[in-house]
Structure 1
Amino acid sequence: MRVLIVDDDFRVAAVHAAVAGAVPGCEVIAQATTLAQAREALPRSDLVVADEYLPDGSGTELVGAGDASVLLVSAADDADTVRRALVRGAIGYIVKPFEMRVLTERITAYVRFRQSLAAEGRLLQVEIDAQLGMLRPRLDPGAPAKGRSAVTASAVADLLRDSGRPHTVMAVADAIGISRATARRYLADLVAAGEVELLLRYGTAGRPQHSYIWSR
């Protein structure tokens, strides 16, 4: 995945570039310190990590300007600025200062999101929700989603973690003794948390078979 870093401070840009470049599957193709420079590199980019305040404009102007997704990283924390960026379609907004692990986590999540979208064929609603959930940071990754049982969530996670091999929804349901609908919900939670990877296997005909494997 090709990443463009945009920040008016070249030292900050270099730090963000180092973080992005260390994420598996990412390649930093350019660093820009102005909006004009960013626009030149935009067509070659898949993801833009941009500051809001630039000498000749704002990072938000890059949102929707091309096919690349934009993650805003800025000291601007006023509601109007954040709202404008998100409404236009930014995939996220990180307020400076922040720990570099936060940027790593957001970029890693976006890599997983793009990989999940590369799948062909029809998707179940729970799988679409899981893909969108990859972009949403969880305040407590260890806590089950609302309405979920911590015991069941742990059982599903332990099954996949300990086996080290892919499982279908039916296999998980049968192994734990829950319905397939319930298994799908818990598996979707794990995919959204980045703990489990959704795999699609294509046969000779019909819909692709979905399976899940522990990714940590």
Structure 2
Amino acid sequence: MTELPTHELARRMAELARLVATPRRVEDVLSDVTAEVMALIPGTDAAGVLLVGKAGRFESVAGTSELPHRLDELQMMYREGPCLDAALDELVVRTDDFRTESRWPRYGPAAVEIGVLSGLSFRLYTSGQAAGALNLFALRPNAFDEEAETIGAILAAHAAAAILASRQSEQLESALSSRDRIGQAKGIIMERYNIDDVAAFDMLRRLSQDSNTKLVDIASKVIETRGS
């Protein structure tokens, strides 16, 4: 593998870090990460990200071609493969030659059949809701070495940061939206019953407890009655 000059690698990583920190859709950031994989790790013929959720749901995103998606579908069908292992169990999973690989008896031959001989997968993150892996594929054997693992691990860290930042942003937006709806409902109740905000919130809280309904859902129902 051709070694990238240290200063060039540092520059590319710094630029990628800046892009991750910029508010953008997580899919766009992950696409930047897989594009950097192709640029920084020679021998990579395709790269993508596999996200695995509860109940076996999965998303194949940021693929540099259709190949990662096809391979992800095979792994989810067979319930085995390097990307799944990386997402759920291992930090790094490297395969030098799928033709002699015994860890995945069904997936390995299927990958070989469509021309893939090498693979390198990195765990992205694990949460209560989902897990993920950054995956590299090559059409020749022994395509990846220790340098590829080092660079790939750094890129995986950037991808994980993008995913976590996106989820935190979504949670913040949801919290702000909930707070806004509860505030609107309090205002409606204060005006309707000529009570202060403490009493209005207490009324919402009691309605929530008595009906075993989330407070924000009670607030939404109050808002819907505004014109009644």
Q: Which has the higher contact order (CA 8 A, sep 6+)?
A: 2
- Structure number with the higher helix fraction is 2
Using the size of structure 1 for normalisation, the TM-score is 0.31
Using the size of structure 2 for normalisation, the TM-score is 0.29
- Structure number with the higher strand fraction is 1
Pick the structure with greater CA Rg.
Answer: 2
